[in-house]
Structure 1
Amino acid sequence: MANSRFEYVKQFERENFLLPDTYIVIRVDGKGFHKFSEKYEFEKPNDERALKVMNQAALKMMESFPDITVTYGDSDEYSFLLQKKCNLFERREMKLVSTFASHMSVYYMYAWNKEFPQKPLDPSRLPTFDARAVQYPTFRHVRDYFSWRQVDCHINNLYNTTFWNLVIRGGLTGKEAENRLIGTVSSDKNEILFKEFGINYNNEPEIYKKGTVMVRDYVSSREEQELSERQLQRLEKQRRKANISTLHVDIIKDDFWNERPWLE
């Protein structure tokens, strides 16, 4: 009821507006996905179909929010980069993180039901996500952020690949495999995989080693902020219709970014 005597409680509501002219990265993480993967018996060390579900959910995010220019993910995590001039939800932090977390959860469940019809989701263990928003002042920071996530992907995948081969094919218990890997570096893990299991890690699928990057093939203009509201609406339609490429490539080196200067 408008103008009721109870309306004073709105004074307690506070909004946190993210800074203008900064890059926003929203990272969405699966909540309790270790138990979720056990419940639905994910293949180890990597479940290709489960990764497909994550990627389909992330693609739906990009299709739904044209302000997303590029996204990167592996395992149960995805990071979404919003264009610098983005004014989605007036840059309200709580609105952004709650919307991204809830949409990712819904899109994941939808993709899951299509990919795993023989494994219906149990209400006691549903896939849910949380999210955080981080601001970066320069594109160099943005690139370093995505480099950090891809390095993390490589480190985790090499460890998991070695760990699960020691358990599944080597007959070790989880604790024994963990103890075996304490203090090892990348070269040690590569040697274990090759000498004991005949696995050349370099030949493992790129999606496991490098994760997944999706990029919107849309060439933006630095003059966009000076356009009228109607012109901006047309540009948003162009972004929404732009082709989205799904890649499993190195995003640490310059090539990926140099080929797409419009991302800056």
Structure 2
Amino acid sequence: MANSKYEYVKSFEQPDVLLPNTWIVVRIDGRGFHKLSDYYGFIKPNDRRALDLMNAAAVGVMKDLPDLCIAYGISDEYSFAFHPNCQLFERRSAKLVTTIVSTFTAHYIYLWGTYFPDTPLQPAALPSFDGRAVMYPNSRIFRDYMSWRQVDCHINNLYNTTFWSMVLQGGMDRREAELELKGTLSSDKNEILFKRFGINYNNEEEIYKKGSVLYRQYQLEEKSDSSMQEETSPLQEDMPSKTQQEKIRKLRRKVQVVVDHVDIIKDEFWERRPWILSGKPGKLPTEAKEVVA
């Protein structure tokens, strides 16, 4: 009821608007996924079904929220990025985070049976996720964030691949494997894998080594010979009006979302997909690449 005597309680609500003209990354993580993976018998060190399920749920989020320009996932974690010119929900942190977390969780649970048809979800171990929003002031720092996550993917996967090879194939208990790997370098782990188990880490699947990057697939640009230029600051150009924003959303909804497993640390990925950092739609591709429906 408008103007009721109880309306004063609204004064307790605190504003949580994120800084303007900054990249917003909403990172979600699985809650208690070590226990969940054990409960449902996930394959070690990587369960392709679980990773494909994470990617499918992330694609659902990207399709539901056309304001998102890129996402990156490893293990039970996903990072979703909004361009600095995004005005979705007036950039309110709680709205952005809860919308992404709830939408991702809904897709994850809905799609579970597609990837684990013989392992139905049980009330004792239902998947859930938490999330946070972090702001990055420019594209260079935003790219450093994305690079950090991909480097972590490689480090963690190399360790896990070595650890579980020692346990499952080498017959070591977990404590012994942990002690032997403590303080080892990447070269040491590669040597253990190759000499003991005949595993060439370079031949492992790219999804395990590089993680998964999601983006809208416009026509790829030619690779530039020069180093990538910083995009124009949103402070130096007019922010899109609400009408323009809606037109951009409609255009983005028509573009396919792809799941890729590529190097996002080097400039080439970003140079050939300038629409990610510019926030402006690219040219529609002449040929569709492999997509996840």
Residue 4 (structure 1) shift: 2.2
Letter in 2 for 1:254: D
Could you tell me which residue of structure 1 aligns to residue 256 of structure 2?
Answer: 243
- Indicate yes or no: 2:264 matched with 1:260: no
With 166-175 and 97-106 compared, the bigger mean Cα shift is at 97-106
Could you tell me which residue of structure 2 aligns to residue 48 of structure 1?
Answer: 48
8 A Cα contact 1:150 1:211, kept in partner? yes
Q: Percent identity?
A: 58
Could you tell me which residue of structure 2 aligns to residue 197 of structure 1?
Answer: 197
Cα distance between partner residues in 1 of 2:120 and 2:176: 34
Runs of 4+ in 1 over 2 A off after TM superposition: 1-4, 221-232
Could you tell me which residue of structure 1 aligns to residue 65 of structure 2?
Answer: 65
Could you tell me which residue of structure 2 aligns to residue 183 of structure 1?
Answer: 183
Residue 3 (structure 1) shift: 2.3
Could you tell me which residue of structure 2 aligns to residue 118 of structure 1?
Answer: 118
Could you tell me which residue of structure 2 aligns to residue 208 of structure 1?
Answer: 208
Residue 115 (structure 1) shift: 1.5
Cα distance between partner residues in 1 of 2:3 and 2:212: 50
Cα distance between partner residues in 1 of 2:246 and 2:177: 56
Over 3 Å counting, the alpha-carbon distance change for 1:23 and 1:227 in structure 2 is closer
Cα distance between partner residues in 2 of 1:24 and 1:91: 9
Cα distance between partner residues in 1 of 2:2 and 2:198: 71
Cα distance between partner residues in 2 of 1:254 and 1:231: 29
Cα distance between partner residues in 2 of 1:147 and 1:230: 34
8 A Cα contact 2:60 2:107, kept in partner? yes
Write the mapping of 1:100-249 to structure 2, written as runs, cut at 5 A: 100-218=100-218, 225=238, 227-249=240-262
Deviations 1:103-136 (A, max 9, x none): 1111111111222121111112111011111111
Could you tell me which residue of structure 1 aligns to residue 285 of structure 2?
Answer: none
Could you state the TM-score of these two structures normalised by the residue count of structure 2? 0.86
Deviations 1:204-224 (A, max 9, x none): 0000000000111359x9899
With 141-150 and 6-15 compared, the bigger mean Cα shift is at 6-15
8 A Cα contact 2:150 2:264, kept in partner? yes
Q: Structure 2: any 5+ residue segments left out of the alignment?
A: 220-231, 278-293
DSSP-derived class of the 1:111 partner = helix
RMSD: 1.8
Residue 232 (structure 1) shift: 2.9
Cα distance between partner residues in 2 of 1:256 and 1:204: 21
DSSP-derived class of the 1:5 partner = coil
Cα distance between partner residues in 2 of 1:3 and 1:227: 35
8 A Cα contact 1:85 1:225, kept in partner? no
DSSP-derived class of the 1:124 partner = helix
Cα distance between partner residues in 2 of 1:237 and 1:224: 22
Cα distance between partner residues in 1 of 2:240 and 2:158: 48
Question: Across the two proteins, how many residue pairs are aligned to each other?
Answer: 264
Residue 230 (structure 1) shift: 3.1
Cα distance between partner residues in 2 of 1:82 and 1:40: 33
8 A Cα contact 1:167 1:177, kept in partner? yes
